Each structure stands twice: as C-alpha cells, then as structure tokens.
Amino acid sequence: MTDSQERLTTPAELTITRRRTRRISLVWLVPVVAALIGLSMLVNTWLSKGPVITISFATATGLEAGKTPVKYKDVTVGGVSAIELSDDGKEVLVTVNMIKTGLKLTREDTRFWVVRPRIGMSGVSGIDTLLSGAYIAVDLGQSDETARKFVGLENPPTVITGTPGRSFILHAQDLGSLDIGSPVYYRRIPVGRVAAYSLDESGRRVNVQIFVDAPYDKYVRTDTRFWNASGVDLTLGANGLNLQTESLASILAGGIAFHQPTLGNGEQAQEHSVFALSPDEATALAPPDGPGQYLELRFQQSLRGLAIGAPVLFSGVNLGKVMSLSLDYDETTKRFPTVVGVMVYPQRLGPVLNKLTRLEGDTDAQMADFLASLVAHGLRAQANTGNLLTGQLYISLNFVPDATPVEFNPDADPLVLPTIDSGFGQMEEQISSIVAKINRIPFADIGRNLNASLANLDRTLAQINSRVLPDVAGTLDQAQRTLKSTGSMLSEDAPLQQNLNETLLGIQRATRSLQTLTDVLGRSPDALLRGLPTQQPPMPGSGRDPSREMLP
C-alpha cells in the first residue's frame, strides 16, 4: 500500500461533499398564470358558447365576417363568423355564432333581416347604421321547436312580435296601390299598417293582412267597414266630378281607411277577423245591398257614352249598376241591338219594397211576377244623359204613361225588361238633320257671288270718289255762296231790308184806316150817300171824337 492510499483511507482526512438543491424561478409564474387565464377563458367560452345557425339572404350587402353583429332589441346576441355562397350560387349563406343565451332565439318562426339605411314610400329607416354599420336584427318567434337554418327577410317586418295591437284580414278584388307598410287610417288618424298580402288560392281575390295598433284596435268591430283610400280618387262619370283623398301619405304610399256605419252597434272584433275591402268610401258605407237581380235590356239605339259601372236609377234612387255591354243580331229587323246587363238590388228601396210587393218570401219567382205587374203598368228602361260635358249615360227605370203594351216573360232566364228610346237619340237625329241641311247650303256659290258683289261695290265706290264727290263738293260751295249773299241781303243796312220795313208800315196804316171805315159804316150805314154826320157820339171806351177823323 502506498502513502497516498493510506492518506485516503484515514478517517480524519475524509472530505464530505454536499449536493445543492435547485429552486423554480419566479419568471415561470407569468406563463403559468397566462396559461391558467387562457384555460379559464377557453372554459368560459366553451361554457358560454351558443348554437351556430345559418341564415340565407339574397345578397350580402353590408355584411362582413367577424364584424357584423346580431342584435335583439339592440343587445348583441351573436356575430357573423363566415359568409359564403350556396351550392347553386343563388343565395348567400351567413354563418352566425350565437351566445349561450341566444339559444332561445333560434325558434322555427324567428325572423332575421339586415338593418341598413332604407328610403321608401313608408318612410326612412336605419339611419343610425350610417355610422355604426349594418347589423342583423332578430324578431323572436313563438314556436316551441328550434331550428339551425333560417331564411332571412329582404325587408324589415312591419309588425314586431309583441307589439300591442291586433291583426285582421281583408278580402279585396285587387291590391290597387297598396303595399307592405301602407298606413291604415281611422278618422284620418294613422292607426296601423299593411303587414302582408297574398293572392287567394282561387286567384279571384287578394287577401290583405293589416295590423291595428293598440288602443285603436278596439274601434274595429264586427260591423266596421273598410275601404281603399289609396292615392287620389278622381271619378268623372254620370254623377259628375268626384275627388276624394285621405292624406298626402296615402297619395304617395296608398292606404286603407275604416269606419263604422251611422247606426253601427257591433261588438269588438276578434283578432284575425275577416272583412271586405270596398273600392271607395261610398260603397263601404252604403246600406247592405242584399241579393241582386240580374236583368237584360235590349236597346235599338246607339249607347255611346254608357260604360260598365254606370248607375241604374229608379225615381232618383241608385238601384244598381251596369254589369255588361254586348251586341246582338236580330234576323227579323236585320239590326244589331245593344244588350245591356244590369244588376239591381231591390233592398235599396228600403221598407217601401215590402209595401209594394207584400211578399213573405223574397224568391226569384215572386220577384219575377212582381216585375211583370210593374211592366204591365208601364215600367220601362231608358238610357239618359247624366253629364252633358262628358256625354256619360245612365240607365233610368221609369213608368211611361200610355206605354205600348209589350210581352214580358216571367219565366225567362235572365229576365228581359222592355226599353224605350231616349230623347237624346231624337235630339241626335234632329241635329243630324240640321247638319245635313247646312251641308246642302251652297256656300261656294254664295262666296263667289259675294266676291263679285264686293268687286262691283268697289268699282262703284271708285266712280263715286272720282266723279260724284267732286260735283257734290262744287254744289256745296255754290250753296254756301248763295247763303252768304242771302245773308247780306237780309242785313239791317241792306236796301231790301229797308224797303220791306216801309212796306210793312204802309200795310199797317192801311189796316187801321180800313178798321176806322168799318166802324163808321157800322154806326152810320148811309154815310157813303149822305156824308158824315156833323156830330157823332163818341165810341164807347175810345176817348176820342170820330167825327173829327177824316177819311183817307
């Protein structure tokens, strides 16, 4: 054993070496905490994650993946995560990640639409999205079933679920100028709007759904009348010019108005009640027409100016309207009469109908017999002029005195009511006769003769100007000189005037002498033989002695 080995084995000289323990650095706490936070966020996201739904739209205008939110009552309930085209390229499929609380919004009848700025007849909407951007709005449905695929609305719904009010259905012949969002008026106050419309399965009418806001919905009763108040109702017919409109908004966007009859006492209508939509206010508020009676009228005269819808009047009462106009051919007379189909409503006569007919049942056979009795007493149909300005005609039912008896078949179908020609036809014939006579007047010959006469008159006037007028002017000058000379002869200093004055004085003295002689002979008739007496009594009242006067 060597010395080195001895030193190593000596206990006193043994060296004890201690191993140092390694500590974790505080730097590692940061990623650990970050990992814990991330994990908690993942867990929170997983716990709060809602369903993923797909909404199909026609276009993706205003939508952007990762930015466009989904809002319900202005509360964000999800966001758009992806936008892609459908397999056929006709639609845009928008994938939306809903939050956990948005699960209740995925009912089958939930509606989605894009809120963006819109300008239409019903107003302006979505102005706030000019700054914030478009978003998808949600209208919660009422179904108990949920869904993951939805079809988005291209236009915002007019009625949001939960809006106080009620919906009603209107049956119309056509839509007119109505559209979704068109206002509904009550006493010219907007109380609702048109929510939807669709064509009936039969294709013969249009079903219009309206929504009336609360508290105005209580005014819709079982006897309420609705009419189309769209635009301007301007009619020019046999009744004259009629202009009606509800408001400026109805002129632009159309509208519906409703009202109760004057004596209406109906109960409050239930939701989704069905009503008829009349074309105008007069038709809507008119009394019930009851069953109608179709009649045919055959006219031999021209009916230019008679249109479908023209009124049928009886003693001033609007009893019906014209339904059809057509031509027929009569082989006997070789003429083409006009066949007019009219629909009359006897109940428009009111209580007088029962007084006239005294019928317990209003059957067709009884009504035909009643018409037969009226025709026997002179009931006739006539086409009269209702408006001289437009030439519109209407049908008048009147009793004609001493009417020619005609046959009336009460078993005919349809019933044919006899007619008479109206006065305007005779007036047209008279006017035509006058026009024919005027046409026979030889205006051309009269014009040529008039031109010749005017030419002769022109030559005559030329001769007068060249020959007669100078002679007349000379004659007038000569007459003027004669009058001047006559005036000079009749002046006071003229010899003729002095001789005339002396002659008049001599005649005056001779007249006095003759009067004196007459007086003397009257007193003394023999004075011419014996001479004047020496003493003559004075003339009474003369104051002088006549015996002293000498005879001339």
Q: pLDDT tens across 253-284, in order? A: 578 999 887 666 778 899 999 999 988 887 88
Determine the pLDDT at residue 220. Answer: 92
| Among 380, 390, 410, CA closest to 239 | 390
Determine the pLDDT at residue 124. Answer: 61
Determine the pLDDT at residue 534. Answer: 58
Residue with the bigger pLDDT between 542 and 234: it is: 234
Neighbouring C-alpha atoms within 13 Å toward the C-beta of 265: 1
**What is the longest distance spanned by two Cα atoms in the chain?**
257
Max mean pLDDT among 29-38, 363-372, 374-383 falls in 374-383
Instruction: Tell me: pLDDT of 139 over 50.
Output: yes
3-state secondary structure of 243: strand
Determine the pLDDT at residue 551. Answer: 42
**Residues shown for the chain:** 552
Copy the structure tokens of residue 141: 């449905």
3-state secondary structure of 447: helix
Average pLDDT over residues 58-77: 89
Residue with the bigger pLDDT between 15 and 494: it is: 494
Instruction: Tell me: pLDDT of 550 over 50.
Output: no
| pLDDT tens profile 437-479 | 888 888 888 888 888 888 888 888 888 878 777 878 888 888 8
Residue with the bigger pLDDT between 301 and 191: it is: 191
| pLDDT tens profile 27-38 | 677 787 888 887
Copy the structure tokens of residue 172: 């119309």
Residue with the bigger pLDDT between 431 and 542: it is: 431
Q: What is the DSSP code (8-state) at residue 153?
A: B
Instruction: Band the pLDDT of 56: cuts 50, 70, 90.
Output: very high
Average pLDDT over residues 329-338: 86
Distance between CA atoms of residues 253 and 241, nearest Å: 24
Distance between CA atoms of residues 159 and 167, nearest Å: 10
Distance between CA atoms of residues 19 and 21, nearest Å: 7
Determine the pLDDT at residue 215. Answer: 92
| pLDDT tens profile 482-496 | 877 777 666 666 676
Distance between CA atoms of residues 215 and 218, nearest Å: 6
3-state secondary structure of 116: coil
Max mean pLDDT among 389-393, 431-435, 446-450 falls in 446-450
Torsion-angle region of residue 188: left (phi > 0), alpha (psi -120 to 50) or beta? left
Residue with the bigger pLDDT between 1 and 523: it is: 523
Which amino acid type is present at position 538? P
| Among 368, 369, 382, 383, CA closest to 415 | 368
Residue with the bigger pLDDT between 72 and 2: it is: 72
Instruction: Tell me: pLDDT of 157 over 50.
Output: yes
> Cis omega before residue 215 (within 30°)?
yes
Copy the structure tokens of residue 421: 């020609």
Distance between CA atoms of residues 423 and 419, nearest Å: 13
Instruction: Tell me: pLDDT of 295 over 50.
Output: yes
Residue with the bigger pLDDT between 472 and 24: it is: 472
Instruction: Tell me: pLDDT of 213 over 80.
Output: yes
Distance between CA atoms of residues 208 and 192, nearest Å: 13
Place of tokens 């086409």: 383
Q: What is the DSSP code (8-state) at residue 411?
A: T
Question: Would you kindly state where each structural domain of the chain is located, as residue ranges?
Answer: 44-151, 165-285, 293-425, 495-519+543-552
Determine the pLDDT at residue 531. Answer: 67
Max mean pLDDT among 44-58, 103-117, 534-548 falls in 103-117
Task: Quote the percentage of the chain above a pLDDT of 90.
Answer: 15
Sign (positive/negative) of CA torsion 320, 325, 330, 333? positive
Instruction: Band the pLDDT of 168: cuts 50, 70, 90.
Output: very high
Helix ranges (H only) for 62-138 are 129-132
Return the number of other C-beta atoms located less than 10 Å from residue 185's C-beta: 19
Average pLDDT over residues 366-393: 81
Copy the structure tokens of residue 4: 């080195």
Instruction: Tell me: pLDDT of 235 over 70.
Output: no
| Contact of 359 with 366, CB cutoff 8 Å | yes
Copy the structure tokens of residue 266: 């109906």
| Contact of 205 with 180, CB cutoff 8 Å | no
| Among 177, 298, 279, CA closest to 231 | 177
Q: How confident is the prediction for the chain on average, in pLDDT?
A: 79
| Among 379, 395, 166, 169, CA closest to 274 | 169
233 - beta bridge partners? 244
Return the number of other C-beta atoms located less than 10 Å from residue 522's C-beta: 9
| Contact of 154 with 182, CB cutoff 8 Å | no
Q: Is 292 exposed, middle or buried (0-12, 13-18, 19+ CB in 10 A)?
A: middle
Distance between CA atoms of residues 108 and 145, nearest Å: 6
Determine the pLDDT at residue 317. Answer: 83
> Cis omega before residue 414 (within 30°)?
yes
Q: What is the DSSP code (8-state) at residue 417?
A: E
Instruction: Tell me: pLDDT of 166 over 90.
Output: yes
Residue with the bigger pLDDT between 210 and 182: it is: 210
Residue with the bigger pLDDT between 233 and 35: it is: 35
Determine the pLDDT at residue 407. Answer: 84
Place of tokens 């003769």: 449
Distances (CA, A) of 217 to 126, 179, 193, 258: 28, 21, 12, 11
Copy the structure tokens of residue 132: 């914030």
- The angle subtended at Cα 384 by Cα 381 and Cα 388, nearest 5°, is 170
| Contact of 297 with 380, CB cutoff 8 Å | no
Query: Which residues, at least 6 apart from 328, have a Cβ–Cβ distance to it below 8 Å?
Result: 298, 336, 337, 338, 339
Instruction: Tell me: pLDDT of 375 over 50.
Output: yes
